[in-house]
């Protein structure tokens, strides 16, 4: 029997969609080992977030209110103490920037083995086996952790968001442990980027541009109208980010965001292995590129469901206009 603690990611008193992927993982482990799963809402606004998280079938929801903006040194001691006192065999979070920052510190406090960025879990002979991509997703490894406690971060693109369950879980307060280096760390400022477009992690449709778009101005004139016509999130390849066409938070790939929307449209992206690692889990992939799909210069053609060999500066405005007409009809 293995009990799982899910560490929720919250913002403005609301749980982020990333947390629901970790809940799905926790359900799989709990059901496969005859255990249970609980959810920890931690941070500023934990009380209101806990009310929302109580809808997802956990045995209980724990809340630990910590004032001020997130920083790992403030959260890790509390997560570790809750994990120890609750006797959890697995402590899990989504492999978002939040999970990747917080969970290694939690693992150090628990002397726990870590399975990071996993894409699947199996239970064989009562043991948990974790699958994770390696070498930019070209190889998948299977991990078996030998420590009593496992710390796991799950890839959001590989675990569907959990659905609401019948009834509500009970909510309990969790004691807050003193922060590491208390009095030695001070958060001076937090800058957030507000956008009316969907977040990349939650969007059903993502439209991305690459080096072939040519400039920041062309992103604005060619890519963004299609993004807005579809109600999509906007992304970019590393080449486009490095060239200064768009800001770094839009980068999709091995060193950027990992997405798996229902529809992914790649514009002017050749498909370097680094980029493919961040989006090849998308349900339907459409690529628009002038390269011949048979000559090897556009690797994205190998994974695209639809490949349009065309000049993006002609094809994309026509596609945008067609989408607008379809929505207006």
Residue 260: the pLDDT is 86
CA torsion 263→266→270→272, rounded to 10°? -60
- Among residues of the chain, what percentage have pLDDT more than 90? 78
- Asked if 31 and 158 sit in the same domain, the reply is yes
Does residue 195 form part of some domain?
no
Does residue 188 form part of some domain?
no
Residue 322: the pLDDT is 96
Residue 232: the pLDDT is 96
pTM: 0.83
Does residue 237 form part of some domain?
yes
- Read off the pLDDT of each residue in 271-280 and give the average, rounded to a whole number: 90
- Asked if 17 and 162 sit in the same domain, the reply is yes
Residue 120: the pLDDT is 95
Residue 63: the pLDDT is 96
Does residue 29 form part of some domain?
yes
Residue 190: the pLDDT is 78
CA torsion 11→12→13→19, rounded to 10°? -20
Q: Which residue has the tokens 């579809």?
A: 230
Residue 188: the pLDDT is 83
Residue 133 pLDDT level (bands cut at 50, 70, 90): confident
Does residue 194 form part of some domain?
no
Does residue 196 form part of some domain?
no
Q: Is the dihedral angle over the CA atoms 27, 233, 308, 247 positive or is it negative?
A: negative
Is-contact 86 3, C-beta < 8 A? yes
Task: Give 122 or 189, the one with higher predicted confidence.
Answer: 122
Does residue 301 form part of some domain?
yes
Residue 95: the pLDDT is 92
Length of the chain counted residue by residue: 329
Q: Read off the CATH number of the domain in which 66 is found.
A: 3.40.50.620
Is-contact 314 284, C-beta < 8 A? no
- Asked if 115 and 159 sit in the same domain, the reply is yes
Residue 57: the pLDDT is 94
Q: For 39-43, 44-48, 157-161, 186-190, which range has the lowest pLDDT when averaged over its residues?
A: 186-190
- Asked if 124 and 36 sit in the same domain, the reply is yes
Kindly provide the residue ranges of all beta strands, DSSP E only, lying in the chain, ordered along the sequence.
4-7, 10-11, 14-15, 37-42, 61-64, 90-94, 113-118, 120-124, 127-134, 139-143, 150-154, 171-173, 205-209, 233-236, 263-267, 284-289, 306-309
Residue 303: the pLDDT is 94
Q: Read off the CATH number of the domain in which 261 is found.
A: 3.40.50.1220
- Asked if 268 and 122 sit in the same domain, the reply is no
Model confidence pLDDT, tens digit, residues 162-189: 999 988 999 999 999 988 877 777 788 8
- Asked if 139 and 259 sit in the same domain, the reply is no
Residue 61 pLDDT level (bands cut at 50, 70, 90): very high
Arithmetic mean of pLDDT over the chain = 93
- Asked if 52 and 152 sit in the same domain, the reply is yes
* Residue range(s) defining the domain that contains residue 128: 4-173
- Read off the pLDDT of each residue in 216-226 and give the average, rounded to a whole number: 97
The domain total for the chain is 2
At residue 136, does pLDDT exceed 80? Answer: no
- Asked if 161 and 225 sit in the same domain, the reply is no
Task: Give 260 or 215, the one with higher predicted confidence.
Answer: 215
Residue 88 pLDDT level (bands cut at 50, 70, 90): very high
Model confidence pLDDT, tens digit, residues 89-100: 999 999 988 999
User: Which strands sit side by side in the sheet containing 171-173, from one edge to the other?
Assistant: 113-118, 150-154, 90-94, 4-7, 37-42, 61-64, 171-173
**Region for 136 from its dihedrals, namely left if φ exceeds 0, alpha if ψ lies in -120 to 50, beta otherwise:** left
Residue 281: the pLDDT is 83
- Asked if 20 and 169 sit in the same domain, the reply is yes
- Asked if 26 and 168 sit in the same domain, the reply is yes
How far is the CA of 260 from the CAs of 148, 168, 283, 305, 308, in angstroms? 32, 29, 7, 14, 21
């Amino acid at each position: 029997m293995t009990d799982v603690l899910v560490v929720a990611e919250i913002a403005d008193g609301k749980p982020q969609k990333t947390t629901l992927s970790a809940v799905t993982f926790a359900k799989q482990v709990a059901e496969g080992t005859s255990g249970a799963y609980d959810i920890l809402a931690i941070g500023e606004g934990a009380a209101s977030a806990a009310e929302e998280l109580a809808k997802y079938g956990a045995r209980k929801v724990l809340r630990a209110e910590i004032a001020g903006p997130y920083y790992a040194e403030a959260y890790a001691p509390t997560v570790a103490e809750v994990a120890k006192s609750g006797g959890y065999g697995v402590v899990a979070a989504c492999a978002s920037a939040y999970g990747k920052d917080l969970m290694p510190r939690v693992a150090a406090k628990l002397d726990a083995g870590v399975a990071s960025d996993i894409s699947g879990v199996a239970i064989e002979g009562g043991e948990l086996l974790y699958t994770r991509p390696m070498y930019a997703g070209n190889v998948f490894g299977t991990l078996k952790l030998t420590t009593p406690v496992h710390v796991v971060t799950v890839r959001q693109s590989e675990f569907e968001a959990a659905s609401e369950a019948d009834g509500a879980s009970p909510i309990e307060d969790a004691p807050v442990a003193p922060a590491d280096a208390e009095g030695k760390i001070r958060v001076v400022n937090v800058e957030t980027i507000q956008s009316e477009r969907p977040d990349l992690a939650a969007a059903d449709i993502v439209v991305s541009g690459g080096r072939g778009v040519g400039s920041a101005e062309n992103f604005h004139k060619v890519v963004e109208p299609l993004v807005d016509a579809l109600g999509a999130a906007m992304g970019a390849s590393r080449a486009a980010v490095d060239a200064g066409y768009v800001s770094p938070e839009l980068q999709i790939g091995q060193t950027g965001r990992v997405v798996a929307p229902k529809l992914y449209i790649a514009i002017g992206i050749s498909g370097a292995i680094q980029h493919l690692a961040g989006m090849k889990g998308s349900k339907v992939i459409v690529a628009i590129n002038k390269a011949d799909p048979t000559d090897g210069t556009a690797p994205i053609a190998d994974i695209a469901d639809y490949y349009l060999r065309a000049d993006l500066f002609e094809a994309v405005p026509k596609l945008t206009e067609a989408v607008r007409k379809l929505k207006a009809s």
